Amino acid sequence: MTEDCIFCKIIKGDIPAKIAYRDDFTVAFYDINPQAPHHLIIIPHKHIETLNDLHEDDSELIGHMTQTAIKLAKQLNIAEEGYRLVINCNADAGQSVFHIHAHLLGGRRLQWPPG
Ligand code: AMP
Ligand code: ZN
């Protein structure tokens, strides 16, 4: 837990969020400003600021986040139609919350390349 991190606060329940899934390693909740009919944020409990701060022994954690995303995509019935899993890193990618997170986006035809 890092004092002024909004995602750490969501994990703790100090900030309300619509939680879709929680286990010992990850939490998934609905994005407050959805960019697609289905837009969830998947985070690890562990506060890691950016992709650049991942250690080798965090590999299992990232694998677990991916498995969580796949599970949710299946539950949301978007697994077959398709979806996107995105991790933004730092300014050029538009990262605005510095607690690593994956966006799960689906439910519409997504553009490529992204803006
Ligand atoms: P990024 O730009 O990749 O850092 O994504 C941060 C995402 O977190 C954005 O899509 C925001 O809409 C979302 N977000 C920020 N605050 C909250 C919150 N309190 N509850 C849910 N989603 C949030
Ligand atoms: Zn945090």
Would you say residue 81 has pLDDT above 80? yes
Average pLDDT for 24-31:
98
Mean of per-residue pLDDT scores for the chain: 97
Average pLDDT for 15-40:
98
pLDDT value at residue 85: 98
Banded model confidence at residue 75, pLDDT cuts 50, 70, 90: very high
Compute the distance from residue 89 Cα to the ligand 2 centre, in Å.
15
Q: Where are the domains of the chain?
A: 6-82+89-106
47 flagged as catalytic: no
Task: Kindly report the pTM of this predicted structure.
Answer: 0.97
Atom of ligand 1 nearest to the CA of 39: 10
Average pLDDT for 89-106:
98
Q: Which residues line ligand 1 (CB under 6 A)?
A: 6, 15, 17, 29, 31-33, 41, 88, 94-97
- CATH placement of domain 6-82+89-106: 3.30.428.10
Full 3-state SS string of the chain: CCCCCHHHHHHHCCCCCCEEEECCCEEEEECCCCCCCEEEEEEECCCCCCHHHCCHHHHHHHHHHHHHHHHHHHHCCCCCCCEEEECCCHHHHCCCCCCCCEEEEECCCCCCCCC
